[in-house]
Structure 1
Amino acid sequence: MKKIIFFALLLISSFLFSQQIHIKYLRVLSSFATSHEDLYIRNNQILSIQDSIITQNKLTDSWTMSVNLDNGRKPIKQYFVSDINNESERNIFFTSSVESKEFFIYDKVPKPDWKIDEKETKKILGYNCIKATGIFRGSKVTAYFTKELPYSAGPFKFFGLPGLILDIRTDNKDHDIWKAESVDINDKSAVVFKPQFLNKEKLSLKEYVEAKEAHMNKIFAKVTDNLPKTDSKVQVTNNQRFTVEQKYEWEN
């Protein structure tokens, strides 16, 4: 009987890894705005695409107009490219823009030190999921992953669990949340897993973070200069990181 179960699991695993799967996540950007992220996996290849369309926050049912700080330029989709491995770090390449200029960034992402609680479980889209907690670049996060989809992957730059992450969120926040809305284990989309972003300038993660924060500080300085000259103490603080990535490796 044990041999039959083993071979059945082996067949299921072989089927999954030979297929292309697609997970669509609701991505909560703030207390009022959401977008979507599409994660595609085939064999050991991963491509994740963050949508640029901002919508009403379905989790809080609130809404406001989004403000684009990049010189009035419409936001663009972001691409995250990587391969599944069992190492303590994962090479992830992603696209982004600063001051209307697009870049292709290389990031060596450390695996969070996950603590898995097998007793804490819940169903997500029909899959049995297990709770895990960890620290990702200075933020405490809680994830639910499923061993029924045996991929050490998740949205954005999350990985390192023995199964696919279907829900992950920053603790004690109403944003920085990724929640799976659908799973297709036999996706037929035409996906290029290793896109060639040769027309974009290449940067290291540190160079990108420095350029992005210098740009944001210019914006904060302009906002401060335009504040009414009153006695009220209104401050716009530089170097705030409105992201799950609060502390990078070179800052340790």
Structure 2
Amino acid sequence: MKSILSNILIIFPFFVFGQNTIMAEYLHTSETSNAKMSKRIVLYASNEKAKQVHFKSQLNEENEYGASLKEDGSISIIEKPSDFNNVWYYKASTKDIVKSVVNSNTNYIVYDTGLDYDWEITDEVDSVGNYQVIKATTYFRGRALIAWFAPAIPISFGPWKINGLPGLILKMYDEDRKFTWTVTKLNLNAELTEDSLEPQISDEAKEMTYQEGLNMSRKAYDEKQKRINTKLGGRGGNFRTVRHRDQDLERKYEWEEN
């Protein structure tokens, strides 16, 4: 595995710490059959708690937002991402994620619970920046994932929803490399308080399970498809709206197994 971006910021790279807090910034890229996108994710973490801030996705310059006509005559519509304040909270002692999703019209708290990772830690060793990393694999919601974690940074968190390894995940990707996460900045002495890593839930927030949130999102998507189909004069079978959602990553859910 090649070293990551040459401009990576590493502070005290060989310092093994105890109760310090860290800040890790990741570049997340995704590639589907319709679009390539990237976004920044910033992880703030202590040994016990973590918070992730997700920034708006950016479309690869090869693609453009809006509608385009494909060679087969179908219409592809790439939606521009909304300006959501999207913050996720974690605890090492639980298997849950609390998501805060807020914009001018939306204020949701979404509970993604019971997350489980059956990690297989291999003997394969490499380096990311100045850190020795170890390869680990897992299978999560229908996708095989490969993670490279740094034992010298004993923080059990990582990008997206993945955690539970004996070291901070510095690089991760799926088996097809359609989705990647690469650390670009790392501060091992970030000044954070424990309170700043606790979920901020307002009285106005609507709370729901992740399954309820998915159902609501799918319903809104279907309704939008119908409206677009009406405007296109009934050509609904020949167009596709492209969005950047967790559903792109997750192929199967635990509640669907029974």
Give the alignment's TM-score, normalised by structure 1: 0.76
Once the two structures are superposed, the pairs formed by residues 86-105 of structure 1 within 5 Å of their partners are: 90-96=95-101, 100-105=105-110
Which residues of structure 1 form unaligned runs of 5+?
1-11
Structure 2 residue aligned with 1:5: none
> Aligned-residue CA RMSD in angstroms?
3.0
Q: Distance in 1 between matches of 2:30 and 2:85?
A: 14
- Looking at both structures, which has the greater relative contact order when contacts are Cα pairs under 8 Å and sequence separation is at least 6? 2
Once the two structures are superposed, the pairs formed by residues 88-167 of structure 1 within 5 Å of their partners are: 90-96=95-101, 100-119=105-124, 121-167=125-171
CA deviations over 1:224-248 (Å, ceiling 9, x no partner): 3444667x962649xx974212222
Give the 3 Å change call, closer, same or farther, for CA 216–100 of structure 1 in structure 2. farther
**Letter in structure 2 aligned against 1:64:** E
CA deviations over 1:113-161 (Å, ceiling 9, x no partner): 2222212x32112111111221111112111111111122111210122
Secondary structure at the counterpart of residue 23 of structure 1: strand
Structure 2 residue aligned with 1:67: 79
Kept in 2, the 8 Å contact 1:134–1:141? The answer is: yes
Question: 1:56: Cα distance to partner?
Answer: 5.5
Secondary structure at the counterpart of residue 153 of structure 1: coil
Structure 1 residue aligned with 2:219: 214
Which residues of structure 2 form unaligned runs of 5+?
1-14, 66-77
Question: 1:112: Cα distance to partner?
Answer: 1.9
Structure 2 residue aligned with 1:25: 26
Secondary structure at the counterpart of residue 214 of structure 2: helix
Secondary structure at the counterpart of residue 208 of structure 1: helix
Structure 2 residue aligned with 1:47: 51
Question: 1:90: Cα distance to partner?
Answer: 0.8
Q: 1:185 aligns with which of 183, 188, 193?
A: 188
Kept in 1, the 8 Å contact 2:147–2:171? The answer is: yes
- Worse overlay, 205-214 or 108-117: 108-117
Percentage of pairs with the same residue: 22
Q: Distance in 1 between matches of 2:167 and 2:246?
A: 29
CA deviations over 1:15-62 (Å, ceiling 9, x no partner): x2322100000011445321100001124111111112x3365xxx74
**Letter in structure 2 aligned against 1:82:** Y
How many residue pairs get aligned? The number is: 224
Kept in 1, the 8 Å contact 2:40–2:54? The answer is: yes
Secondary structure at the counterpart of residue 243 of structure 1: helix
**Letter in structure 2 aligned against 1:214:** K
Q: Distance in 2 between matches of 1:127 and 1:62?
A: 33
Q: Distance in 2 between matches of 1:130 and 1:51?
A: 28
Q: Distance in 1 between matches of 2:191 and 2:59?
A: 29
